[in-house]
Structure 1
Amino acid sequence: MPYIVWRASTRRSLRSATIGEPRLFGRDRRLPFAIVLVRRVVPVVLGTLLLAAACSSSNGGAAGPTTSAASRRGGAEIFFPGYKSDVYASVEHWLCRPDLVRNRCGGDLDATVVAADGTLTPEPFVPAKRPAFDCFYVYPTVRLGAEGNAAFDGKYTEETFTVRTQAARFGKECGIYAPLYRQRTLTAPSNANVDYSGIAYADVLDAFRYYLGHLNGGRPFVLIGHSQGAGHLRRLIAEEIDPNPKLRDRLISGLLLGSAVGVPAGKDVGGSFKHVAACRASSNVGCVITYSSFRSTSPPPADSLFGRVREPGQRALCTNPASLGGGSGPLVSYFDARDTAQLIGRVFRVFAAGVANPPAISTPFVALPGLVSSACVDAGPFSYLQLTVHPDPGPRVDDIGGDLTAQWGMHLVDVNVALGNLIDLVGRQAKAWRAAH
């Protein structure tokens, strides 16, 4: 089945069904995202992917399990010591680990800050030296195939792009551990005899236990996941961390983005988790930050599964990364400036055709401070993060992209639209955790 690429038109409209290439300057002042999808993916598999989110080949070159790239906590309990994994004992099944020679979360992560007036300011990326805490990251659905579960086939272009786009910049604060896993594919067939999501979760659990037993070194950790990845981490917290006080005490926070965490109406805990509550301040630890994002001009339609839960009497939890205590706040967005992905996070030509002598942007990321603000909204059965774009008469882009269908909202940019805020939050939470221990 052939792939189809949608690209931007030159219309100025902020609301367009066209999925395209964002531009920072020029006549087309939108910032839509290009995306490659299987023919008829949207009408056929939208429900499948939403349910998966709701539920759900080169050698890296490390010498072996080690914590030499990060600081070990002396005397801290090691969970699952000596844990055996036929898969995750091999460095070939890790995208990111601080000890890998080929660490996909390493390399150039510099950004260019684009001000509303078009001023460009370089922002060098400085990774943490001997980080005192870890970030365990599980990527979203990036495989399009109909095989049910992705294979460990050595063809990890999309996984690599996504981990760099969503997770690598957290290396400013933490050591990043990102396993490969046999995720449920976008067009997985319906088969009552095969639990595709269960197979994917079993890999995530296996990787997490191996990480705890061999790589963690007693350090506290943050869990980060988007969409399908967040769904697997929600289950992992519910089954492995929430019932275990000692392991729960090691959790700094969980960033479960684009997959709903359920709570009783008006409460911050008691649905998906018995003990792990919402983060309502950067001083809170052992808590979760979670949301699904929609435009202020396009709230979730009745048939959207993002921003809602199916359990009676519960609502989706929403925590605003720009203002955990409530209200609205400005987002610090980082988007990858390279045109190298097919599904999630593919970004834009930085300058539109027709711009005379545009300034060069040579960094892999661009930051767009102040362009978008966010606030949590309760409306009908939905609780979601409302994104408001603030156009400016200057030459910078007037809008962001990430739209796919009304049912998806801004799912494709759940992470990147708030990436700067999220990185800052986990750094502050780690300091609060250390102060309490």
Structure 2
Amino acid sequence: MSRLLRAVLAAALLALLAALPTTASAKTTWLCKPGLASNPCAVGTGTTWLNADGTVKGPVNGPKTKATKQVDCFYVYPTVSDQKTPQATTRIDPEERSIALYQAARYSSLCRVYAPMYRQITLQGLLQPATVTTKMRDTAYADVRAAFRDYLKNDNKGRGIVFISHSQGTAMLRELLAKEVDAKPAVRKKLVSAILLGGNTTNKDFKHIKTCAKDTQTSCVLAFSTFNETPPANAVFGKSSGLGRLAPATGGTVLCTNPAALGSTKPATLTTIYPSTPFAPGTTIGALTTQVGMPTPTGISTPWLYAQAYSAQCVTENGVHVLKITPLPGAPTLKALPDATWGLHLVDANIALGDLVNVVLKQTGRYVARARA
């Protein structure tokens, strides 16, 4: 990829994470919702354990799916659409189904997952920022906001909520949480936690919602961007400069919460979980995921792969605050894509998915206990 194209990509992402909101939205189209006939977020928890080098170690018990799920998860997916226009429709394509499987489906053992389609800025729009208008960005956010209001009115019924997002999805949820949750006490009471990955969430985004410092804390935010090398000073992720109107002009520290060791800066081993099924073949993200370097053993009968192959700690280097991972003996060195300024953006949601699910399990228990008290 040329230096010019990389620069255009980075500049486009900065614009994408900037101002959003106010146009009306059409009726919600649900990618994931309880009861859908074809739901990419509803899969089993069968899991195969891999050694650090990617060879098969054997089966491992996945989490037991709770018979009665006492909280919901509201998931907003990242930039993934391969539609050949700058803004996507709400048509469900293979890439949206795959990203929901990769990033949200594992949580379905704990919560009912709701994931709306929204008219996001596509990969083509990201590459051609001059074709993207303010109205397009407004429309994307309006879809997410309308879907959340739809969910609150028709489906929530007083239940706690875990918010989950990545990249463009995190741009949407930073805005939504600030205006529709943090600013509204009755809705804020429903917040179990928010997992806002790869979107430069800062410690000044919210007035009332705190940063998660331990795994039994609720009504708090987990956030990080993953790198495996010292991030360059011009990194796209890990600093608040220029990233959206929610990043205060006076600064604000981009959050890094290590889900394997909340509240600590010491290294901790991550539990990586990702699907055994390749990401939608023939799509742009599908091609990129094959280049990152995650092991892809064949002949796996379970829907999930599990490995403990990396340690991680939150660091600040070159003024950039990130989750920096280090391979354990035998583990592959993952490749930054499209270049070093993006770090390991493509693995943010899965590199510590086992740890994130475990944190949500504990937070849910604490939330439900308090609600009953």
Shorter chain as normaliser: what TM range? 0.7 to 0.9
The answer to which of 139-148 and 299-308 deviates more is: 139-148
TM-score by length of 2: 0.86
Kept after mapping to 2: 8 A contact 1:337/1:349: no
CA distance in 2, matches of 1:301, 1:132: 43
Kept after mapping to 1: 8 A contact 2:10/2:236: no
The answer to which of 42-51 and 210-219 deviates more is: 42-51
Q: Map 1:294-333 to 2 at 5 A.
A: 294-295=227-228, 298-310=229-241, 311-326=249-264, 327-333=266-272
1:424 matches 2:358 = yes
1:259 matches 2:199 = yes
Of 124, 128, 131, the residue aligned with 1:187 is 124
CA distance in 1, matches of 2:370, 2:150: 27
Deviations 1:258-298 (A, max 9, x none): 011222xxxxxxx1111111000112111100111111xx2
The structural deviation recorded for 1:143 is 1.6
**Which structure has greater helix proportion?**
2
> Which residue does 1:49 correspond to in 2?
13
CA distance in 1, matches of 2:171, 2:58: 37
> Which residue does 2:244 correspond to in 1?
none
The structural deviation recorded for 1:222 is 0.4
The percentage of counterpart residues that share the same residue type is 35
Kept after mapping to 1: 8 A contact 2:233/2:318: no
> Which residue does 1:157 correspond to in 2?
94
Of 209, 212, 235, the residue aligned with 2:175 is 235
The structural deviation recorded for 1:402 is 5.4
> Which residue does 2:76 correspond to in 1?
138
The structural deviation recorded for 1:403 is 3.8
* C-alpha RMSD over aligned residues: 2.5
> Which residue does 1:366 correspond to in 2?
305
Kept after mapping to 2: 8 A contact 1:112/1:121: yes
1:202 matches 2:136 = no
Residue 215 and residue 170 in structure 1: after superposition, are their counterparts in 2 closer, same or farther (change >3 A)? same
Of 151, 158, 164, the residue aligned with 1:211 is 151
Report the 3-state secondary structure (helix = DSSP H, G, I; strand = E; otherwise coil) of the residue aligned with 1:436: helix
TM-score by length of 1: 0.74
CA distance in 1, matches of 2:342, 2:87: 22
Report the 3-state secondary structure (helix = DSSP H, G, I; strand = E; otherwise coil) of the residue aligned with 1:316: coil
Q: What residue identity is the alignment partner of 2:107? A: F
CA distance in 2, matches of 1:318, 1:55: 23
> Which residue does 1:7 correspond to in 2?
none
CA distance in 2, matches of 1:214, 1:119: 45
Q: What residue identity is the alignment partner of 2:216? A: S
Report the 3-state secondary structure (helix = DSSP H, G, I; strand = E; otherwise coil) of the residue aligned with 1:323: coil
**Corresponding pairs, count:** 347
Report the 3-state secondary structure (helix = DSSP H, G, I; strand = E; otherwise coil) of the residue aligned with 1:134: strand
Residue 323 and residue 166 in structure 1: after superposition, are their counterparts in 2 closer, same or farther (change >3 A)? same
Q: What residue identity is the alignment partner of 2:101? A: R
1:387 matches 2:325 = yes
> Which residue does 1:407 correspond to in 2?
341
Q: What residue identity is the alignment partner of 1:273? A: F
Q: What residue identity is the alignment partner of 2:110? A: E
Report the 3-state secondary structure (helix = DSSP H, G, I; strand = E; otherwise coil) of the residue aligned with 1:253: strand
The structural deviation recorded for 1:429 is 0.5
Kept after mapping to 1: 8 A contact 2:25/2:139: no
1:286 matches 2:219 = yes
> Which residue does 1:35 correspond to in 2?
none
Residue 140 and residue 122 in structure 1: after superposition, are their counterparts in 2 closer, same or farther (change >3 A)? same
CA distance in 1, matches of 2:336, 2:132: 33
Residue 391 and residue 344 in structure 1: after superposition, are their counterparts in 2 closer, same or farther (change >3 A)? farther
The structural deviation recorded for 1:240 is 1.1
CA distance in 1, matches of 2:27, 2:144: 11
Kept after mapping to 1: 8 A contact 2:82/2:95: no
Deviations 1:217-240 (A, max 9, x none): 110000000000011001001111
Report the 3-state secondary structure (helix = DSSP H, G, I; strand = E; otherwise coil) of the residue aligned with 1:407: helix
The structural deviation recorded for 1:124 is 4.9
Please list every run of 5 or more consecutive structure 2 residues that lacks an aligned counterpart in the other structure. Answer: 242-248
The structural deviation recorded for 1:100 is 1.5
State which structure, 1 or 2, has the greater radius of gyration over its C-alpha atoms. Answer: 1
CA distance in 2, matches of 1:349, 1:321: 22
Kept after mapping to 2: 8 A contact 1:315/1:381: no
Q: What residue identity is the alignment partner of 1:133? A: V
Residue 430 and residue 312 in structure 1: after superposition, are their counterparts in 2 closer, same or farther (change >3 A)? same
Report the 3-state secondary structure (helix = DSSP H, G, I; strand = E; otherwise coil) of the residue aligned with 1:135: strand
Q: What residue identity is the alignment partner of 2:210? A: A
Residue 122 and residue 279 in structure 1: after superposition, are their counterparts in 2 closer, same or farther (change >3 A)? closer
Residue 192 and residue 44 in structure 1: after superposition, are their counterparts in 2 closer, same or farther (change >3 A)? closer
Q: What residue identity is the alignment partner of 1:44? A: V
Kept after mapping to 2: 8 A contact 1:315/1:382: no
